[in-house]
Chain A
Amino acid sequence: MQVKPANFNTKTISNFLVNNAILLLMIVVAVSVGIARPAFFSAYNAKNLISNTSIRFLVALGVSGCLITCGTDLSAGRMVGLSACLAATFLQRADYSGRIYANMPEPNMLLVLLGVVLIATIFGLLNGIVIAYLKVPPFIATLGMQTIIYGICQIYTGSQPIGGLRSDYTVGLASGSLFGITWLPYLGLIALVLGLIFWFVYNKTPHGKYMYAIGGNENAAEVSGINTGGTKIIIYITAAAMYGVAGFLLGGKAGGASVGLGPGYELEAIAGCTIGGVSTNGGVGRVSGILIGVLVFELLKIAMQFIGVESNYTYIVQGIVIITAVALDMRKYAAKK
């Protein structure tokens, strides 16, 4: 077989373009919008972008474990919503007239966070058990859980929106920044820390290796003595914990919570993961990719807002991006006949 140098070069370049399409797209979008609307590069906009990205990144981190093990989690959005509602009911101002727990002293915020996460993990545990031991396909199991949580949330909130939140929750934490520096929002820092923890778990611990192994070939994982059921349960529990944190932060950021908050986050998270290279065939996915996937999505939204695209059109663009990104990804993995 002959080697054709010219051909080889164009191939390398086109390979590079295909492999890094998303990153390149992001840069092109950012630079061109920045040139058209210089305010795009302002610290305020950076904060906006980081805050939006952070919450969705947390949900995407949670769901990534499910996707890598060939599962999914459709209950993520509703869990985010329930967590937001739970957090909001405990973090209403003491002097607010419509307070749900009228005579309760104002609890410690960290305690509320832990409580919310704990409750979310119970649902995650249930998801995990149903999937790992009852062998219900993840799509169906979490679809059911989604509906269950919706019902619980309706009952819990009495279908009423929850407002009058404490300012240390809304302004202090959810809109606050470290040292008051605009582009260092707390949300971003929390996401960064959790992202690093996930990176560590995925790459440096047996649990992470087992997760990739199960996704790569569950039968082989079983033969290799991996406790596949236990590993999956841990994955769905940690996923739920992430939704808990995300919901807690979202409640504060939105300044209130209701049953309507949350749905749709699961699909955006799945989209972000797949754009970022998490393979729907399982076994593949990196934390850095997930970040890029979510970021590109949020960047597109904000960029389109900036240049004044009507929001309904942005959905169409988002849809095209999801499909294109995964189609490009599939080219990489497509088996050669």
Chain B
Amino acid sequence: MPEYLLEMNGVCKAFPGVQALQDAALKLRPGTVHALMGENGAGKSTLMKCLFGIYNMDQGEILYNGQPIKIANPFDALGKGIAMVHQELQPIPDRSIAENIYCGRLPKSMGGILVNHEKLYADTRVLLDRIGMDFDPHAKLGTLSVSQMQLVEIAKAISADARIVIMDEPTSSLTLGEVEKLFGIIDQLRKDGRAIIYISHKMDEILRIADEVTIMRDGQYIGTWPASELTTDKIITRMVGREMTNLYPPKENVPGEVIFETDDFTSIHDRSFRNISFQLRRGEILGVSGLVGAQRTELMEGIFGLRAHKKGEVRYKGQTLKIKRPQDAICRHIALLTEDRRRTGIFGVLSVTDNVAVASLRQYLYGGIMLNEREIASLVEDNINKLSIKTPSGKTLIKSLSGGNQQKVIVSRWLANDPDVFIMDEPTRGIDVGAKYEIYSIIADLARQGKSIIMISSEMQELIGMADRIMVMCDGKVTGFVERDTMNQETIMELATRFA
């Protein structure tokens, strides 16, 4: 038997405008938990998607049991004994838990023409019992909470009886108890001689569960070390390279008087945001932290008029705002940079120019009808220069730009409306390290000009580096505020997991 169960060597993968992987590698021993670490955008997920057949790699080889293999698609990967727990859940909420788990490989009867429902639900029962979950296999997946869905996703990967299980941020929305349960499952898998590739940003988890750690940076392989030789500091240094000291721009903003506040703001949905009261000062960067499912995004969308609320109010300069739809918020100079750039941010098939101007077209009209293209062009030109957006021209389609540049285009869209309150939901998600710093600089610069920023982030380091104050949410409620001088990951984490 070869020393490694799996080897990936010299993997390259380019997307339009970005070299996502450049000579990436991974060597996996059987019966181990192998942590794959790197900053967001370092290429971990891309590498795993290449392994799982979601992407075709441009170059490189995969050796499985010492034999070179090609993986055509996820179905092929599952057949070869590789399963993956995805970072982004892909649930079918209106089908049962059992159907979600066995989707694509339902047990058959009558020579393969009928679904064997008895076996389906019995197998699911056994599987759920094995990992200590007492859900009804018939229940619709949509009735579960986000963390429960994530457990189902894990069950799905285990049910495939795979030799290699890839877990991409499996604990991002789990409670502490659920995390313990997951670690128990992982231990079991390891004892069975299976290998687990574990992607996480949480250092304590890695140091506790991993046997080996591979670190990536900017799509490249940096190295592999036994976990016992590493410390949090060593990992961070290797993840970010030399630029560690300049991770965040200097803080020069001076928070002034309160200009924006919410009072008892509550969603129409019982499980969404409830009784939210907070204040925002002029020129302040308010960080918002919490686990996935803490309803941070929903709260911001509620403030912006994308979601309905049943009670509470939003005040701007002491005046109560009636916000029923985004237009109302935009008129009051509130901007929202959404979390999911592809789904609610970019217009992929439109040009950079159209993407920048779309929310402020009314300011550029001749005689009330015709667009003043010259003024729009100069607005776009200004922004391309000011935010150093790397694009061949304003006519280029936005989808051909890198994530960081797309993000800067959307920031420009909102700056064109001269916002006083700028809500940014995960502004650096999926952006490479260099572009991240540029986004940070833009944020710091806006705050210095007296704009108020609400910044949601799942990276605690980032919030600690940028925010003047951090509001922590858990399960739809605000569980506390952390001031600049007391900010540390432990305090935030404690508040973020304070389930009632």
Contacts and interface: CB of A to CB of B under 8 A. Distances in A.
Contacts of A222: 306, 326, 344
Contacts of B348: 216-217, 283
Contacts, number: 79
Contacts of B345: 220, 223
A94 B350 CA distance: 54
Contact of B371 (A206, A224, A225): A206
A271 interface: no
A204 B372 CA distance: 8
A226 interface: yes
Contact of A224 (B55, B343, B358): B358
Interface string B368-393: 01110100000000000000000000
Contacts of B349: 212, 215-216, 279, 281-284
Given A205-B369, A205-B370, A225 B347 contact: no
B361 A206 contact: yes
A209 B306 contact: no
Interface in A225-259: 225-227
Contacts of A206: 361-362, 365, 371
Interface string B45-58: 00000000001100
A185 B347 CA distance: 41
A220 B344 contact: yes
Contact of B413 (A200, A212, A215, A224): A224
Contacts of A224: 326, 358-359, 413
Nearest to B410: A220
A209 B361 contact: yes
A318 B163 CA distance: 53
B371 A209 contact: yes
A219 interface: yes
Contacts of B218: none
Nearest to A279: B349
A221 to B, nearest CB: 8
Interface in A188-225: 200, 204-206, 209-210, 212-213, 215-217, 219-225
- How many chain B residues sit at the interface, stated as a range, is 20 to 34
Interface string B457-490: 0000000000000000000000000000000000
B424 interface: no
A216 B354 CA distance: 11
B359 A209 contact: no
A212 B326 contact: no
Interface in A164-207: 200, 204-206
A337 interface: yes
A225 B323 CA distance: 12
Contacts of A212: 347, 349-350, 354
B330 interface: yes
B32 interface: no
Contacts of B369: 205
Contacts of A279: 349
A215 B350 CA distance: 10
A283 B398 CA distance: 13
Contacts of B141: none
A201 to B, nearest CB: 9
Given A221-B347, A222-B326, 17 more contacts: A200-B370, A205-B369, A205-B370, A209-B357, A209-B358, A210-B358, A210-B361, A212-B347, A213-B347, A213-B350, A220-B347, A221-B358, A224-B359, A224-B413, A225-B329, A283-B349, A283-B350
Query: Lowest 6 CB-CB distances: which A-B pairs, in order?
Result: A216-B347, A225-B330, A224-B359, A283-B349, A206-B361, A219-B344
21 contacts: A204-B371, A205-B369, A206-B361, A206-B362, A210-B361, A212-B347, A212-B354, A213-B354, A217-B346, A217-B347, A220-B343, A220-B345, A220-B346, A222-B306, A222-B344, A223-B336, A223-B338, A223-B344, A225-B330, A226-B359, A282-B349
